[in-house]
Amino acid sequence: MKKLKRSGRLVDMTNFMLQNPHKLISLTHFSERYQSAKSSISEDLAIIKEIFEGQSIGSLLTIPGASGGVKYIPMVNKKEAEKIISSLCTTLAVSDRILPGGYLYMMDILGSPKLMNEVGRLFAGFFANHKIDAIMTVATKGIPIAYAVGHYLDVPVSIVRRDHRVTEGSMVSINYVSGSSKRIQTMSLARRSLEAGANVLIIDDFMKAGGTVRGMMDLLEEFQANVIGIGVLVESEEAEERLVDDYISIARLDKVDVKGKEISVEPGNFIRLLKTELKEDVYESSTNE
């Protein structure tokens, strides 16, 4: 492309970084793209790094050496995460989403690409320092969250199906017991959609007793894949005994009072666990307002 001044480079590089999270980009790539000296590129990157980290967009990792370069890693600090999560809890607590049977209508939240991206950024930031090869979710409602996480971690998404109208070639199926309804059910994943030995992050929208997540874990064993983590948007406290222990939740549904039309929602364990995941400086880094 034609030679650009610093101002133009900053705009183009910012866009390029945001479109390519977790990708190592060599300084040579940029210096050739803009026909500029690597020294100027490094100065550009220092400016971008300062803004990205100051605004809790993410951190810019610079790897020195011939094989080195720069990598944009989506991140959230404590303050930013708390802001997103508390506004989500407020939205979740709106009483008119109570459905017969104490279910909650959530498509207004799950149907918003903007909200899904925020949730995706939370999980991607949380697992930024883990080696993850793929996201796994189960159709249907987990899919939007899974793709948002997959985008920010730059990894593919594997979609587990519960129906049988499937045209994905040979499938691996397992039976599982839905923890809440105690019914035996089947879930399947296309053989080709996940490599053996992959490191997988399980994502879902809602977890009650955890039967579905448990099923996905069993399914992953069939692929000799490893569960790196489990992230759910909402966990329900009603479950007397969980089939899954080690998971991250954005929000916790304490009680749904169908008669009194009241929903009590609290932040999940995300913030508490984030502290143990992130380096102190990233965790506490203050977002400029």
Length of the chain equals: 289
Token pair in block for residue 74: 């989506």
> Residue 191 or 267: which CB sits closer to a copy of itself?
191
Question: In the set 55, 87, 175, 269, which binds a copy of itself (CB under 8 A)?
Answer: 55
Does 51 contact a copy of itself by CB under 8 A? yes
Phi, psi of 253 (to 5 degrees): -90, 110
270's CB contacts (< 8 A; 6+ apart) are 81, 85, 122, 126, 248, 249, 250
Q: Is 240 in the site for a copy of itself (CB under 8 A)?
A: no
Q: Is 242 in the site for a copy of itself (CB under 8 A)?
A: no
Cα separation, 230 vs 249, whole angstroms: 9
Phi/psi at 7 (5° precision):
-55, -45
Of 4 and 93, which CB lies nearer to a copy of itself in the complex structure? 4
Residues between 101 and 130 with contacts to a copy of itself, criterion CB under 8 A: 101, 103, 105, 107-108, 111-114, 116-117
Give 13 or 217: the residue with its C-beta nearer to a copy of itself: 13
Instruction: From 54-62, 220-228, 237-245, 246-254, give the range in contact with a copy of itself by CB under 8 A.
Output: 54-62
Residue owning tokens 């007397």: 240
Binding pattern to a copy of itself, positions 140-179, x when CB under 8 A?
x--xx--xx-xx--x-xxxx-xxx-x-xxx----------
Pairing of strands 157-160, 134-138: parallel
| Least distance to a copy of itself, CB of residue 117, Å | 7
Q: Three-class SS of residue 92?
A: helix
User: Interface with a copy of itself by CB under 8 A: which range of 5-13, 212-220, 260-268, 277-285?
Assistant: 5-13
The span from the CA of 125 to the CA of 84, in Å, is 13
Per rule CB under 8 A, count of chain residues that contact a copy of itself: 59
Report the C-alpha gap between 174 and 218 in whole angstroms: 8
Q: Which amino acid type is present at position 234?
A: V
Candidate ranges 2-10, 196-204, 258-266, 274-282; the one touching a copy of itself (CB under 8 A):
2-10
Nearer to a copy of itself, 19 or 175 (CB): 19
Q: Which of residues 67-106 bind a copy of itself (CB under 8 A)?
A: 99-101, 103, 105
Interacting residues of 52 by C-beta distance below 8 A, sequence separation 6+: 17, 58, 59, 60, 72
> Pairing relation of β-strands 134-138 and 171-177?
unpaired
Q: Of 116, 109, 213, 113, which is closest to residue 160 (Cα–Cα)?
A: 213
Supply the DSSP symbol for 57: S
List residues near a copy of itself by CB under 8 A. 1-2, 4, 6-8, 10-12, 14-15, 18-19, 47-48, 50-52, 54-55, 57, 99-101, 103, 105, 107-108, 111-114, 116-117, 139-140, 143-144, 147-148, 150-151, 154, 156-159, 161-163, 165, 167-169, 190, 192-193, 288-289
